[in-house]
Chains A and B, each alone.
Chain A
Amino acid sequence: MANNVDDSSDAQYTIKEGDCVVLKRGDVFKAAQIQKNRKVIFEKQWFFLDNAVGELYGTAFEVVSGGTLQPKKPKLTESITEVKEAGIDNRNIVDDGRSQKLTRDDIEALKGQGLKGQDIVQQLVENSSSFRDKTEFAQEKYIKKKKKKYENTVTILKPSTRILAQMYHGREPGKICHLRYDSLAQMLTLGNIHAGSKVIVFETCAGLVLGAVMERMGGQGSVIQMYPGGGPVRGATDSFGFPEHFLRTLHHFPLCHTHALLAGRLSLDAPEPDAPPLGRSLESGDTDPAPQGTEETEMERETEEREKRREDKAQERKMKNEEKRKRLSDAAALLQPRNADGLVIASRLHPCPVLLPLLQFMAPSRPFVVYSQYREPLIECYTKLREQGGAINLRLSETWLRHYQVLPNRTHPVLLMSGGGGYILSGTTVTANPPKPTPHRESRSPPQNPTPPDPRPTPHRVQRSPPPNGSN
């Protein structure tokens, strides 16, 4: 069994043209695509990815002259110098800017000679008058620093939630609502995202959360992306490089039709919110250069052609609209039975007006998670859910993440840490049907029932009132 997994996946470990990959140097990541003759700029350096094709994912490459990538032999990356002399402390170290004998020009000249990063660092060490006086720790640190500066190593990785979530958090946290990767991890686990389920996703995190959900589902089940505005945003989702069959499980539904769908008055012929007047503007662009024609026949021919083009375009638009309508009805058909297994929300919009209606698309006894960069909107969600019922096991939480430097005798938390990774409200849906009229029910346990003691008596009263979902 494990064999099959291995055999079939062998090819997927090799870098191919057209693959979505992630470039890595140190702790810096960048998403890219393998394309021939395409210059990539990463960490102030440009190179071509052509040579990566055919190599295994996880291979480290050295950037050599002309921006060519050269696979590094893993075993050759070790020990830099054999200097075994070291100072006891820093009493003899003076920062006068004169300890390095190589000038900037010298270093550039070395680079020009095609010296590799490792050799340049070696030169720097040999030409540093203070290196020998440094303590062993300081020497290590010096080499590490210089290596980082002069070694042109780039590792090519296969994209994953782990890598992309760290990449976005490090480079463009604003695009993903400052969702820290450990918070994303909580969402996927608390949401019980797994293969074969039906999950509703609403996010404004560039498609990162959507991609993470899809990765966990492995192309099995269905994902319905609710989108605000003109169309679904999937920049980060594309960076995952999912195979074609994953995309067949992905559907989208415009958020602005949510209430219509819930009320059963969704018209599939309704114009799309983004129905672009694009066609017309393009055509008017076409007409501009037309009057240049002098001969009548040519004019006529041109008009004919234009007519035909217009027809083609209209046909194309019609097909596109047809496809859109089909996609809308497909997504609606998935939502309508109100039996979704999961709901994941992570957006910069106020979560409350989104959460309450979307919960109605879920089956009972299923988990949901809502992320917000801020705590207050989630407090509001919590309060509303307690009032209206239909959800239990509510929990508002945040996680705290700290990285460690682990070295012999120098193990300690890393000096800087993230101040906050956002907040998560999680819960479980339950049937919202009115409780059976048991005669002696009122007098007994309800006051001590599922809702933990709260200073206000309202929740208990509300638990008994008929819920808005009606009975299913």
Chain B
Amino acid sequence: MSITEPESGGNIPVSPRSLLSSPMSFVEYAEFIQEGDVVIVFMGHDSMFPVKVQQGGQTQTRYGVIRHSTDLIGQRFGSKVTCSKGGWVYVLHPTPELWTLNLPHRTQILYTTDIANITMMLELKPGSVVCESGTGSGSLSHAILRTIAPSGHLYTVEFHQQRAEKAREEFHDHKAIGHAKAAMKKRGGRVCSFSPCIEQVQRTCAALAEQDFGEICTLEVLLRVFDVRAITLALPDLGEEDPLQADLETPSEGGAPATTNASASVICRTAMPPREMAGHTGYLTFATKSLV
């Protein structure tokens, strides 16, 4: 995947394609749910899904049925909706970030952490013109559109499924960089390449240098999500203390009730790193097209 800022009508090896054919709005917030909207049904961190709202439509959840006409349409985004079995869910306005969490993982998708860095390092903002190759499931596309709207433009291309692998291989590296350079404004622009493999990074950097790109920079960003919880730590029983020593030590107790009771324990709030986490997504290589 590579992203560039193309020159208007430039020699871009991709065809413009309307990505957001559905009327779901990632670009403008709405207050109330209307027919045709996409809402995110939120049941918990790892349990949410998008629903397209239709008059008379019904959605089954583990808490029972959500009836679109009565439970969704006209409700405020962010409301609590009680399902038929009595359990409740929240209905949320879609955002590119919630969308990314809910994507079917057909292809390798870009996650929010990488997307955030791509957006900033490419200096994307309202009005930017962006060319994306390797649309995939569109997680990045939605995020780009959100940022460059309303006046920007996104050109994005996906390869034919059957030829995807081969085409992808060809498209990467020096050829892609050459195309990218041709597509970019005379005034310069930024380019990003996301690749999981270091060999590809090496080829990309070599090609970038060859094409006189400047500020070539490769980095990797990982996300660590903490589990905030209260933990209970049992206090050890060290037996009776010498009265003199006890006087010296007890003043330092940190608010927790430390009785000398054998079954005493302390509750503390902590943030635990996950037992396992994504240790690698991909290397991000950025560069600036220097002035000709």
Contacts and interface: CB of A to CB of B under 8 A. Distances in A.
Interaction A to B = yes
A450 B113 contact: no
B265 interface: no
B31 A406 contact: no
B12 to A, nearest CB: 10
Contacts of B44: 449-452
B107 to A, nearest CB: 21
A432 B228 CA distance: 22
Contacts of B88: 435, 441, 445-446, 449
Interface residues of A, number: 87
Per DSSP, chain B at the interface is: mixed
Nearest to B153: A2
Contact of A429 (B27, B78, B205, B220): B78
B9 interface: yes
Nearest to A161: B120
B28 to A, nearest CB: 6
A220 B27 CA distance: 13
Interface in B146-198: 146-147, 149-153, 185, 187-188, 198
A408 B202 contact: yes
A355 interface: no
B20 interface: no
A364 B62 CA distance: 24
B179 to A, nearest CB: 17
Interface in B102-126: 112-113, 115-117, 119-121, 123, 125-126
B219 A401 contact: yes
Contact of A190 (B85, B116, B153, B230): B116
A411 B225 contact: no
Interface stretch (B89-97, B235-243, B246-254): B89-97
B206 A408 contact: yes
A192 B127 contact: no
A182 interface: yes
Interface in A404-451: 404, 406, 408, 411, 428-431, 433, 435-436, 438, 440-441, 443-446, 448-451
Contacts of B123: 160-162
B42 A399 contact: no
Band of interface residues on B: 35 or more
Interface string A391-408: 011111111111110101
Nearest to A8: B127
Interface stretch (A250-258, A322-330, A375-383): A375-383
Nearest to B292: A74
A195 B121 CA distance: 18
Contacts of B35: none
A435 B219 contact: no
B264 interface: no
Contact of B8 (A2, A379, A430): A2
A388 interface: no
B86 interface: yes
A1 interface: yes
Contacts of B91: 365
5 contacts: A184-B120, A185-B120, A365-B77, A375-B271, A455-B229
Given A441-B88, A444-B86, 7 more contacts: A2-B9, A58-B188, A59-B291, A182-B116, A216-B126, A402-B220, A428-B78
